[in-house]
Structure formats: structure tokens, C-alpha cells
Amino acid sequence: MEVNVYNIKGEDTGRKVALNESIFGIEPNDHAIYLAVKQYLANQRQGTHKSKERSEVSGSTRKLGRQKGGGGARRGDINSPVLVGGGRVFGPKPRDYWFKLNKKIKSLARKSALSYKAQENAIVVVEDFTFEAPKTKEFVELINNLKVSDKKLLLVLPEADKNVYLSARNIKRANVIMASSLNTYKVLEADALVVTESSLKTIENFC
């Protein structure tokens, strides 16, 4: 599959680049995508949720009533879970939600996500560029020229570029990522994928 290469002014350079069929042209595997997205979202969780059990609630340990004959559920102290203000039974505790996913599965998921974007013609290839200084105005001009300003976009760079990152930081629907950090969730989340020429080579090596 070949796509046109544009410059930062949005003009067609007359050149085309071939997208690697083994990455952008495979049969997408939905289950691999599901697992990769699930792992990404799980890793974002802090896991700091906590509720107090009966031994942790502040209150007297005096037994309130008889064990039997009261006509209701048996209860001990005022911290009993059956009473309002008592402890919670089997409440959440701090935990790590991370789980292992094989490298081949994660690679298949990335390729599947990229193939979906290629099928949707949602990949725009632009010449390598940089900004002399952080300028949000220049980044806005860039996405307007490429006609992706109305879409949620992901700009893929071959390496970290502070000026480009800072220029895009104030744009709500724009994200900047390095090709070596590309992940399934970010690809699927974007409506349009703006990729620089050098990033394509990095993606081929990374995937």
C-alpha cells in the first residue's frame, strides 16, 4: 500500500512511500487488541482504593446486645458490618493491576491497530520537520494544512522533540508520541495518525 507524502504546508510533494504490508496490511486480530488495551488501562490504575474493615473502624468493642433472643441479626460491637457506620465486609484493598502479556501478542496488537488505520485511510505521512521554538500557532497551522484539525490526532515522531511536544501540548485533541513508544491504545484512540517519514522506519524496526 502506497500513500502520498506531504510537507508541513499540506502540499503533496509528489513522492509516495510504501507502507510495510507485514505491519500495515495484516488481518487484524481483535482479541490481541482487546488484551493489549486491557493491559494498558490496567497499568494506568493507581490501585490505591481502600475501605475500612471492622477492626479498623474507630469505636468501642463492647458487645451491644445478647447473642440470641433479640429478634434480629446477631451483632457484636458498634463496628459490626450489619450496623450503619460499621466496617465493610471484603472491601477493596490497595493492589497492583498489572498483568503479563507476551511480546508477540503486544506486537500483533500494534500491527492490527495500524492495519485498521490503514484500511480506514487514516494515516497521513508528512516530511520530517521540527520547530525552531515552541509555538502553538505553528502546530495549529500544521494540522490545518494537513486537514486533520477537526480530528483527534496522534503525531508520531522518530525521536523526542521538545519544541514540537510543547507546541502541541495546549491542543486538546492532539497527542505527540515517539515511534518507539507507540502502543495499541494510543493508535486506536486517534481518529488520524500523522506519521513522519523517519518514523515509518522506526515503526518497522519496533513492530
Q: What is the pLDDT along the chain (207 residues), one digit of tens a residue?
A: 889 999 999 999 999 999 999 999 999 999 999 999 999 999 999 999 999 999 999 999 999 889 999 888 888 999 999 899 999 999 999 999 999 999 999 999 999 999 999 999 999 999 999 999 999 999 999 999 999 999 999 999 999 999 999 999 999 999 999 999 999 999 999 999 999 999 999 999 887
User: Comparing C-alpha atoms, which of 95, 101, 62 is closest to residue 78?
Assistant: 62
Q: What are phi and psi of 23, to 5 degrees?
A: -120, -45
Residue pair 56/112 in contact (Cβ under 8 Å)? The answer is no
pTM above 0.75, yes or no: yes
User: Comparing C-alpha atoms, which of 19, 148, 4 is closest to residue 139?
Assistant: 148
| Cα maximum dimension of the chain | 90
Interatomic CA distance for residues 99 and 96, integer angstroms: 9
Q: Give the length of the chain.
A: 207
C-alpha cell at 196: 513522519
Q: Where are the domains of the chain?
A: 2-46+101-206, 51-91
- E strands along 91-171, which residues? 123-126, 153-157
Domain 2-46+101-206, CATH class in plain words: alpha beta
The residue type at 90: F
SS3 30: helix
